[in-house]
């Protein structure tokens, strides 16, 4: 039965998490972890600067505690930091993701691990191992899960990653770590993708829920209240979609999914990025003329074919609108956190963008998330550009540390970015991480403005 197979695979995964030691991790993997941590910290700080995120933090009225609101200027309780940082991290659609996991492994687990590590004042080595555990377990659950059509990946298959990272930080033995992971598989949220396209911020809250659920089930395991029963086969594999347990342990210890992810340079859904990249390439062509565009055809794969709305109501819905992203890229050369939503020129051009699925691009999934863009002009000419993956994908123009610093530095003060980069580089060797993590809250008004 699939439930027994899920229980067996989860037990093996729990043993791997419990015994994970960064001294045995390849240097290239730790280098990638440093980049992911730089991205997570920087993007969270950027999200924390949004007026609505500041208002949310104020409304939370969390008492003082040991964990930072990254970029938020306060230290609060562990659970409040995990929830609020999780929401901030995904609020601008700039967080790292993974095409094979079909979502965002780091966003599901890193906020919980960082908050708990600050509370425990864990060693850098343990924190690095916990972050790796969170990423790898979440990515494997993402690979194993095929959600039902219409389901959004936030807050579902990634919760076991948050549990795994917290279990590793707490030093749980194999059986207890597995029980935490198994229990977390029953804590997923059934979120609909249309919540994102319609601009409902509940979509961001699903990541806050993932973080606090990971903390909760790890504590349940400490108390002996968690069991390994193959829960994922029921929740992920029956209620929310389909589940293949063998994916949890495939190439375990030799394949590091953290090295296969992507970083973002556009503040928008990853499905829109190849189209934005193609438009930016065309924009540099001598024959490209903004005032002569009659229409734009965007061909994409089945996963991105639904992002066709031209009536965005807020930033979240705009970030899930390929017409908005394409028009903004064509007119301004950038899709950023501060790209205007009510520019009449953007709205006019977006109305002339048509998004369709191309069967040949769908067949190239999951290795490629391609797009083909054709811009037609009033003189009867046209320009076409096809890209196989967004820039920043591990398989297509991957971003280096200097690239990431450059992207984040466009929108964040230098000291914030430098602090995030230093933490990523230094983490495995830090004797204790509490002080370094609490510095991420920021206290300089210039950094937080």
pLDDT at 1: 85
Q: What does the pLDDT look like over 144-162, one tens digit per residue?
A: 999 999 999 999 999 999 9
Contact 272, 224 (CB under 8 A): no
Tokens of 412: 């964040």
Tokens of 119: 């509370």
2-264+399-448 against 270-387: fold identical: no
**E-assigned strand segments in 105-149:** 145-147
For residues 254-260, average pLDDT: 97
327: closest CA among 290, 281, 284, 299?
A: 290
For residues 50-65, average pLDDT: 96
d(CA 198, CA 212): 25
Q: Look at residue 449 and tell me whether its pLDDT is greater than 70.
A: no
Give the C-alpha distances (Å, rounded to integers) separating 113 from 283, 378, 437.
42, 54, 11
Contact 314, 341 (CB under 8 A): yes
Cis before 366? omega within 30: yes
SS3 376: strand
pLDDT at 443: 57
Q: Look at residue 444 and tell me whether its pLDDT is greater than 60.
A: no
For residues 16-33, average pLDDT: 97
100: closest CA among 299, 272, 266, 262?
A: 262
- Of the pLDDT bands very low, low, confident and very high (cuts 50, 70, 90), residue 402 is very high
For residues 332-360, average pLDDT: 97
Percentage above 70 pLDDT, the chain: 98
Q: Look at residue 445 and tell me whether its pLDDT is greater than 90.
A: no
Count CB atoms within 10 A of the CB of residue 173.
Answer: 13
d(CA 167, CA 140): 17
pLDDT at 446: 40
Q: What does the pLDDT look like over 366-391, one tens digit per residue?
A: 999 999 999 999 999 999 999 999 99
pLDDT at 163: 98
Q: Look at residue 263 and tell me whether its pLDDT is greater than 50.
A: yes
Orientation angle between helical segments 174-184 and 2-19, nearest 10 degrees: 130
Fold of 270-387: 60s Ribosomal Protein L30; Chain: A; (3.30.1330)
User: Would you kindly state where each structural domain of the chain is located, as residue ranges?
Assistant: 2-264+399-448, 270-387
What are the backbone angles phi and psi of residue 109, rounded to the nearest 5°? -115, -30
pLDDT at 447: 43
Bridge partners, 76 (sequence order): 64
Q: What does the pLDDT look like over 219-240, one tens digit per residue?
A: 999 999 999 999 999 999 999 9
Contact 298, 371 (CB under 8 A): yes
pLDDT at 228: 98
What is the pTM for the complete model shown?
0.97
| Ramachandran category for residue 171: left, alpha or beta (phi over 0 → left; psi -120 to 50 → alpha) | left
Q: What angle do CA 91, 205, 93 make, to 5 degrees?
A: 20
d(CA 396, CA 393): 5
d(CA 165, CA 228): 17
Give the C-alpha distances (Å, rounded to integers) separating 67 from 59, 113, 129, 216.
18, 11, 19, 16
Mean pLDDT (the chain) is: 96
Q: From 1.10.4100.10, 3.90.700.10, 1.10.1740.10, 1.10.1380.10, which CATH number describes the 2-264+399-448 domain?
A: 1.10.4100.10
Percentage above 90 pLDDT, the chain: 98
Q: Look at residue 406 and tell me whether its pLDDT is greater than 80.
A: yes
For residues 53-61, average pLDDT: 96
Q: Look at residue 195 and tell me whether its pLDDT is greater than 80.
A: yes
């Amino acid at each position: 039965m699939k439930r027994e197979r899920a229980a067996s695979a989860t037990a093996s995964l729990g043993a791997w998490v419990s015994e994970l030691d960064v001294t045995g991790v390849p240097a290239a993997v730790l280098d990638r972890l440093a980049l992911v941590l730089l991205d997570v910290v920087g993007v969270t700080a950027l999200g924390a600067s949004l007026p609505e995120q500041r208002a949310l933090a104020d409304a939370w009225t969390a008492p003082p505690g040991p964990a930072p609101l990254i970029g938020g200027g306060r230290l609060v309780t562990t659970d409040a930091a995990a929830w609020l940082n999780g929401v901030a991290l995904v609020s601008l659609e700039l967080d790292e993701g993974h095409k094979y996991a079909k979502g965002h492994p780091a966003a599901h687990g890193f906020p919980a691990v960082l908050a708990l590590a600050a509370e425990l004042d864990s060693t850098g080595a343990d924190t690095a191992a916990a972050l790796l555990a969170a990423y790898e377990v979440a990515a494997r659950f993402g690979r194993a899960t095929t959600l039902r059509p219409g389901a959004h990946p936030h807050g579902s298959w990634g919760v076991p990653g948050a549990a795994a990272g917290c279990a590793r930080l707490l030093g749980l033995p194999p059986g207890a770590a597995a029980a935490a992971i198994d229990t977390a598989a029953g804590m997923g949220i059934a979120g609909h993708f249309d919540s994102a396209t319609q601009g409902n911020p509940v979509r961001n809250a699903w990541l806050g829920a993932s973080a606090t659920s990971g903390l909760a089930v790890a504590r349940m395991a400490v108390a002996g209240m968690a069991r390994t029963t193959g829960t994922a086969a029921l929740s992920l594999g029956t209620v929310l979609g389909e589940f293949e347990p063998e994916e949890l342990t495939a190439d375990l210890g030799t394949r590091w999914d953290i090295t296969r992810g992507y970083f973002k340079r556009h503040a928008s859904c990853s499905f829109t990025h190849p189209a934005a990249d193609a438009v930016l390439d065309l924009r540099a062509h001598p024959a490209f003329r903004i005032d002569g565009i009659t229409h734009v055809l965007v061909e994409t794969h089945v996963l991105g074919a639904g992002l066709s709305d031209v009536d965005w109501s807020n930033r979240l819905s705009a970030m899930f609108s390929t017409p908005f992203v394409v028009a903004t890229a064509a007119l301004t050369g950038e899709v950023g956190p501060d790209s205007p939503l009510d520019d009449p020129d953007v709205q006019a051009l977006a109305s002339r963008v048509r998004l369709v699925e191309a069967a040949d691009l769908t067949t190239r999934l999951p290795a490629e998330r391609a797009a083909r863009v054709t811009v037609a002009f009033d003189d009867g000419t046209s320009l076409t550009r096809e890209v196989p993956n967004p820039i920043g994908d591990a398989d297509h123009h991957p971003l280096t540390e200097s690239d990431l610093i450059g992207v984040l530095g466009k929108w964040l003060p230098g000291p914030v970015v430098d602090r995030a980069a230093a933490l990523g580089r230094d983490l495995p060797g830090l004797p204790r991480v509490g002080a370094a993590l609490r510095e991420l809250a920021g206290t300089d008004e210039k950094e937080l403005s």
